[in-house]
Structure 1
Amino acid sequence: MNNKYLFTAAAVLLASAMSSAAHAHAKLEASVPKANETVATAPKEVRLQFNEPLEMAFSKIKLVDGRGATIDPLKLAVDKDNAKVMVASLPALASGTYRVQWTTLTRDGHKVKGEYSFQLK
C-alpha cells in the first residue's frame, strides 16, 4: 500500500465520523416518572435527561391528562447541576393517566420532540 491510499482512506473515515456526529440528535435517556410507570404518589416534578445540553429558551414540557386537558408546569428550568436535564414543577395531580409531551432544542441546533405516558393510582 502506498501512503496516498492510506491518507485517502483515513480522510474518508474521518469525514464519515464527523458527518455522523454532526447529524446526531438529542435523545431522551431517562425520565422521572418513567415511561409506562404506575406511581402511587403524585410526582411533584417531571425530570427529563437527554444525551446533550439543552437550550431552555426553545424547550418545553406539557402534561396532558386522560381527558385531553393540558396541565401547564408551574415552573420549567434546566437543572442547575446538569445542562442535559429539563425539570418541570407540577401542580397537585389527581389519579389517572398522563402524557408527558416534550420539545427541546439542543445547543447544536437540532429540535426534537417526543412523548410518553405514566399512570397515577
Structure 2
Amino acid sequence: MSSPVLRVARPTNQLNQVADFYTRGLGFEVLARFDDHEGFDGIVVGRRDCPWHIEFTHQHGVTVERAPTHEHLLVLYLPALDEWTAAVERLQAFGVTPCGAENPYWDREGKTFEDPDGYRIVLQHAAWG
C-alpha cells in the first residue's frame, strides 16, 4: 500500500513573490509549474523526498484577500538545531523578520514568519509527536 501525499493548495495574487519566499527563503524546491491551465497559473513547491507539497495558484482576473487571521499557520518541525538555525537564518537573510505568534506556545521553541500574503509559517525547533 502506498503512502498518501498531502498537497496544501491556496490562491495568491503574488505568485512570483510567494514562490521566492518558499524557495529562496525557506529552501523548498520547485516541483512543478504551470501557466494558463484553464485560467490558472501555478507553482508547486516542496522537497522531493517528502510526501507533501504546497501549491500556489493565481486565477486570471480574480483577486484574493490576505490571510484571514494570524492563526492560519503552516508549521515545520525541525528537530535538528543546525537545520532549524539554517532555516531561520535563511529567512532573515531573505529580508523576513520574525513576528510574535498569536498563540504564545509557538514562541517557546520556534520562530514565526509571514509570507507575502500574510500567512504565517512557524519554524518549530522540536520533533513532532
TM range (shorter): under 0.3
Which structure features the higher share of strand residues?
A: 1
TM-score, normalisation: structure 1:
0.28
Which structure features the higher share of helix residues?
A: 2
Determine which structure has more spread, i.e. the larger CA radius of gyration: 1
TM-score, normalisation: structure 2:
0.27
